[in-house]
Amino acid sequence: MTEHLIQGERVTMPVEIRDASACTAVFAVRADEVRSVLGHAGVAPAEPVPGRALCSLVFVRYLDGDLGPYHEFGVVFLIRSPAGRGLGAFVHWLPVNQSFTLEAGRSIWGFPKEMADIELGFSGGTGRCAVHLEGERVLELLVWPGVPVPARGAGTSVDAYTYADGALRRTPWRLHGAGVRARPGGAVLRLGEHPVAAELRRMGLPGRALVSSGIARMRMSFGDAEVLR
């Protein structure tokens, strides 16, 4: 069992999240723009329809977990696995609002975390999130309640890929959700003027979401990252 020292505290692997809530919205975006954004990492987006890639916007409220309580926003692309066949989730941008998780995320997994002001709420089944960086509005995302989806007992495993300091890493990520609701569409995205918003706009956002979902109670676990190259 490996350990990492973060802000003077020992974090043992795998990192466990026992209680979190999240909303996601999946958008079809321009694959050529995604390819140029991901070029530096040497990975390519999956294109379920030629010319279109999938971009997930996600916001999470972590309550009980090994990285403490915090808010997080994520921009994630579905990619072709760089290590063989299959698919993976490339974490492109992952702002958080607390220092402990910032340091842990960067140093343990190379997650592209940075400090931001992240307001979010999950009232009455509707999730809303606003991200500000250095006082500037980056984006706002609203996710409407969907219809209940039966939870899969065993949960899901995903390979999360990150690229930091010249290294491509793969992190085994397990998640299990309860109180899952989903629907087609169901998301409203508003983009600000920040460079990150401009990048998303070049990909064709905002637009109509393919599908959006909310997870009331989520458990997750993150293993140690493996450097691929």
Interacting residues with other proteins (CB under 8 A) = 9, 21, 61-64, 66-71, 97-101, 117, 119-124, 216-217
- CB atoms near residue 80 (< 10 Å): 15
Of 100 and 199, which has the nearer Cβ to other proteins? 100
Of 119 and 226, which has the nearer Cβ to other proteins? 119
Cα 136 from chain centroid?
Answer: 21
CB 127 within 8 Å of CB 20? no
User: In angstroms, what is the minimal distance from the CB of 122 to other proteins?
Assistant: 7
Give the integer Cα–Cα distance in Å for 159 and 8.
Answer: 29
User: In angstroms, what is the minimal distance from the CB of 71 to other proteins?
Assistant: 6
User: In angstroms, what is the minimal distance from the CB of 203 to other proteins?
Assistant: 29
User: In angstroms, what is the minimal distance from the CB of 69 to other proteins?
Assistant: 4
Of 7 and 36, which has the nearer Cβ to other proteins? 7
Q: Which long-range contacts (CB under 8 A, 24 or more apart) does 31-34 make?
A: 33/202, 33/203, 33/204, 34/77, 34/203
Closest residue by Cα to residue 211 from 76, 58, 52, 26: 26
Of 118 and 189, which has the nearer Cβ to other proteins? 118
Q: Which amino acid is at 56?
A: S
Give the integer Cα–Cα distance in Å for 211 and 137.
Answer: 24
User: In angstroms, what is the minimal distance from the CB of 198 to other proteins?
Assistant: 26
Of 55 and 118, which has the nearer Cβ to other proteins? 118
